Amino acid sequence: MLKPKPLRLTKLTAITPIDGRYANRTQELRPFVSEFALIKTRVEVESKYLIALSEIRILRKLTSPEKKRLNSFGPNLSLENAEKIKRIEEETRHDVKAMERAFRSMLSGTSLENVTEMAHYGLTSEDINNISYRLILKRATENVIIPVLDKFTNELVMQAEQHKATPMLARTHGQAAVPTTLGKEVVNFASRLNKETRKLEKQQLTGKLTGAVGNLNALHASYPDINWISFSENFVRSFGLEPNLTTTQINPYEDMVEYFQNYIRINNILIDFDQDVWRYISDDWFVQQAKKGEVGSSTMPHKVNPIDFENSEGNLGMANAIFEFFSRKLPISRLQRDLSDSTAIRNIGTALGYSLIAYKSVAEGLSRVAPNLDEIERRLNEDWSILTEGAQTLLRRDGVEDPYSLMVELTRGGHINGQEEWIKLIDGLKIEDNQKANLKKLTPREYVGYAAELTEMAIEEIKSSRKSKV
């Protein structure tokens, strides 16, 4: 059997669709969650640690140019330098130790050479890693994910505003219920999505700098007069993280799990939206734009598939599967530490990648559909039995005995085919003439409650919650 030759990595040879088929849709995540980004962030944390040690006089006072140099190491780390770190890792079989050795070499030949031995002083790898992973998650979310979600929410808000008074039939259990408006149904999703996005924006991640088993043993032993607890808190806060002093070797993952579960809620809202729009397209309530040259089926020339919503739904499921695994796996660590979390947490970018693909797909899908107002109107007026909720409520107000059962007997399982039949049914009721007159005023188009007003209120709430107005 011939052994295939190794393939050069391209979009066609990549193992996962994130870096293959969908590479163009996820490329903006690479500066934040790639292996290269992780290495750069680790170097950033190591550099700032040296500066922090200088500030408490554990090492000599650093000059402003020296601090500037250290602060530039992480952001300016080249891909070539990162590749050197990976080659060192082949020897060490330890990624953070490889980074530390490379970091020491960066100090060599500079005015910082005499502080080289203080690099990574008293730390364990997890002191660097826990901060780094949380920073890449936070930065990717703030710089890539939230802007995409907010842009999509903006589009929903625009649709809701446009159709806030467009009546349509609502369906519960898949069956005709009572009228609503198209804008109200759209703004329901916009409101849910915006609330969860704002929660994601405010999620507080933690950080720890507590040593090998969480007690700052090495630092306390070497400099017992330093308040290392205060130092740890201040250092973690300098990254915008909340200090966690109660740890083992690892920083417990509950904060990240909460972050991931926020993503799961967002993704479930969008799965709900994907499936609803898919159904509306299937029922011809929404129509899709057919683009010249595109094909909907290899055998049926007429088809225009709701592929963007299907693609979104599938990728949201993939993302949630990873987020859910994180939520189950990461909080569990044998004794003070085991490394099973280390290989799992590297997939942050994978979960974010599938999510981003889905967000872009649903946005593309939304841009290519429009409400079929004629069909929506036809279905709204197809069966006036949807007015019996209002009818029995008005009769109840007027003291008619058991009007619910009356309406059940007249309409359940049947249909009222239009206004003429509705009026005929009302005229046959044994009620007062003024009560009949009130019931005859009911129409599917007008029986929408506060749908338009509630849509406007939801839009205003979304706008007021945002840093920039929709």
Q: What is the Cα–Cα distance from 369 to 367, expressed in whole angstroms?
A: 6
Q: What is the Cα–Cα distance from 319 to 267, expressed in whole angstroms?
A: 8
Q: What is the Cα–Cα distance from 405 to 396, expressed in whole angstroms?
A: 11
Catalytic site residues?
173, 297
**Per residue, what are the HEC states of the chain?**
CCCCCCCCCCCCCCCCCCCCCCHHHHHHHHHHHCHHHHHHHHHHHHHHHHHHHHHCCCCCCCCHHHHHHHHHHCCCCCHHHHHHHHHHHHHHCCHHHHHHHHHHHHHCCCCCHHHHHHCCCCCCHHHHHHHHHHHHHHHHHHHHHHHHHHHHHHHHHHHHHHCCCCEEEEEECCEEEEEEEHHHHHHHHHHHHHHHHHHHHHCCCEECCCCCCCCCHHHHHHCCCCCHHHHHHHHHHCCCCEECCCCCCCCCCHHHHHHHHHHHHHHHHHHHHHHHHHHHHHCCCEEECCCCCCCCCCCCCCCCCCHHHHHHHHHHHHHHHHHHHHHHHCCCCCCCCCCHHHHHHCCHHHHHHHHHHHHHHHHHHHHCEEECHHHHHHHHCCCHHHHHHHHHHHHHHCCCCCHHHHHHHHHCCCCCCCHHHHHHHHHCCCCCHHHHHHHHCCCCCCCCCCHHHHHHHHHHHHHHHCCCCC
Q: How many CB atoms lie within 10 A of CB 71?
A: 14
Backbone angles phi, psi at 34, to 5 degrees: -75, 170
Cβ contacts of 62 within 8 Å, gap of 6 or more? 50, 51, 54, 70, 112, 115
Tokens matching residue 391: 């009818």
Radius of gyration of the chain (CA): 30
**Closest by Cα among 439, 441, 388, 438 to 413:** 388
